[in-house]
Structure 1
Amino acid sequence: MSGFQIIFGWHIFFVFRISYFNYTLFKCRTAYINRGLAYYYQGDYEKAIADYTSALELDPYNYNAFHNRSLAYQRLAEVKEQRN
């Protein structure tokens, strides 16, 4: 095997690994957002906020996680206000 073939083989290996890593992060982020939505609709806003925060740790620029977390904070404040 030539040096080019070896380097090209390693390049393909790393591209595959990076693609798999990005796909795995996407799946985890999406799972946190979906579970956060489930908690939100059940009225468990603190758990929803925790899941949205976990999604933001994986992808700090995710608009859906920011938006949904702000809605959960708003509803949590409304619920606490009604209790007082």
Structure 2
Amino acid sequence: MDTRLSHVESVYTDKLDEEFDSFPTSQSADIVKMRYGRLRSVAGRIQTVVGDMETQGERFQALLSWRDPRATFLSVIFFLFAAV
């Protein structure tokens, strides 16, 4: 392994402490709350991105699933020409 490309120096010490912490934790309650808050923040951002992707997928699916198959086909052809 090439140690010159290692990112060990850029990692914060509290993240290393979190990685090598035993179970159950030996840290204080404040540090555990900080870790939990960081985890909730990241999970919230992931949930937002997944929700946005789901919304776009539902919109795309709604464009392709009209009741009249001929209208669906014509709209797809129209959108294809409009995109080109």
Name which one, 1 or 2, has greater alpha-carbon Rg: 2
Structure 2 length normalisation: TM-score? 0.45
Q: Which has the higher contact order (CA 8 A, sep 6+)?
A: 1
The structure where helix makes up a greater share of residues is: 1
